[in-house]
Amino acid sequence: MATDLVPMSLSPNLILPEDMRPKLSQVSNLASIPIIDLNEDQNGHGNIVQKISQACEEYGFFQVINHGVPEELCTRMMNTITEFFNLPPEEKAQFFSTDPTKEVRLFNYYLKVKDQENVNMWSESFSQPWHPHDNFSDLLPKNPPQYREVFGEYAKEIGKLNTRLFSLISQGLGLEEDCIQKKLGDNPRLNAQGNYYPPCPEPELTLGLAVHTDLSALTVVLQSEGVTGLQVIKDGKWVSVDPVPNAFVVNLGDQIQVLSNGRYKSVHHRAVTNKEKLRVSLAMFYGPNKETWIGPIEELVDEEHPPVYRRYRQAEFLEEFMRQEGTRRMVKEAFEIRNQGKPVN
């Protein structure tokens, strides 16, 4: 779906049934997610631990500025992933796969709809691993020519930022700085996803990305400047996450919700489309590997706060995630103790 090939109207396989459409006029512009300056403590004022903790409890989302990742690297990364999506379809076709277990793949999200064919989302997504240290580069696209190098540099920076964020989030829960990252274990599952949303002739009829929560522990998103699209649920209303210059959007994934015993939230979000501008995002997911056991952290469980989730191996969580492909996934709910480990959908 190259930008110069945008059709005048949507083909039927892109049109959602009425009750699943985005209802853009109902999006609230009253609230916005917190913006946190990571330099604040160095300047001797402010309390970022407390601010992040509050954002994690109330929104599950925040934006960070002065995060230490060089601005020019973010620009190069955004340009590079955009160039990749703009390659001719023949060249991108080598990566195309409908197999969700493939580590590197280009694909279209879809939703299963009762009594009709699956509905495709107005987007293309590209999924790949990101290891800040290993040599993972051979799996990645050779084109555009700078792709591997830029991605390698970017991965290192995001790795550092993740450690800092995990430390702040741990402290917010009253835990040792390295507690959460330790619980997530060695050799984490590091997965990146580029999302490409060309201008859409009828944004009211479709979605860019269906409503979901991230199955990771933490997600760091770089988004196109000056184009909105990402929305999160706050008090039952959709709120738009408007891009802030040189900021990352950070959101908690399902694993932190479980580790925090439900205190911090992995919140539902979606991406909508617009008529005028191309929007691109790059999400960097950090989660545990398949062998890791995840459950509420012991220090956060007591008589007043009984465990909400049972312990599980990450492999089990991933299986449940795959099983719910194409639906409004409710994965962590299947691990709630009150559901006794049974699927809930």
Token output for 303: 């008589």
Least distance CB 232 / ligand OGA (angstroms): 9
Q: Give the tokens for residue 132.
A: 């800040």
Kind of pairing between the strands at 110-113 and 116-120: antiparallel
Phi, psi of 61 (to 5 degrees): -140, 145
Q: Which of 200, 230, 252, 331 binds ligand OGA (CB under 6 A)?
A: 230
Question: Among 128, 273, 281, 292, which residue interacts with ligand OGA (rule: CB under 6 A)?
Answer: 281
Q: According to the binding rule CB under 6 A, does residue 128 interact with ligand OGA?
A: no
Closest residue to ligand OGA, judged by C-beta, is 281
CB nearer to ligand OGA: give 50 or 97.
97
**Residue 339 and residue 86: Cα distance in Å, rounded?**
45
Decide: is 254 part of the binding site for Ni ion (CB under 5 A): no
Q: Which residues contact 250 (CB under 8 A, 6 or more apart)?
A: 61, 62, 63, 64, 165, 218, 219, 220, 221
261: partner contacted, choices ligand OGA, Ni ion, none (Cβ within 5-8 A by kind): none
- Element at 175 (helix H, strand E): none
Tokens for 235, please give them: 């008090």
Q: Of the ranges 168-176, 223-231, 309-317, 331-339, which one interacts with ligand OGA (CB under 6 A)?
A: 223-231
**What is the closest distance, in whole angstroms, from the C-beta atom of residue 238 to Ni ion in the complex?**
14
CA 246 vs. chain centroid, Å, equals 18
User: Residue 77 binds what, of ligand OGA, Ni ion, none (CB under 5 to 8 Å, by partner type)?
Assistant: none
Give the separation between CA 103 and CA 110, rounded to whole angstroms: 19
User: Smallest gap, in angstroms, from Cβ of residue 283 to ligand OGA?
Assistant: 4
124 lies in the binding site for ligand OGA (CB under 6 A)? no
Q: Return the number of the residue (125 or 170) whose C-beta is nearest ligand OGA.
A: 125
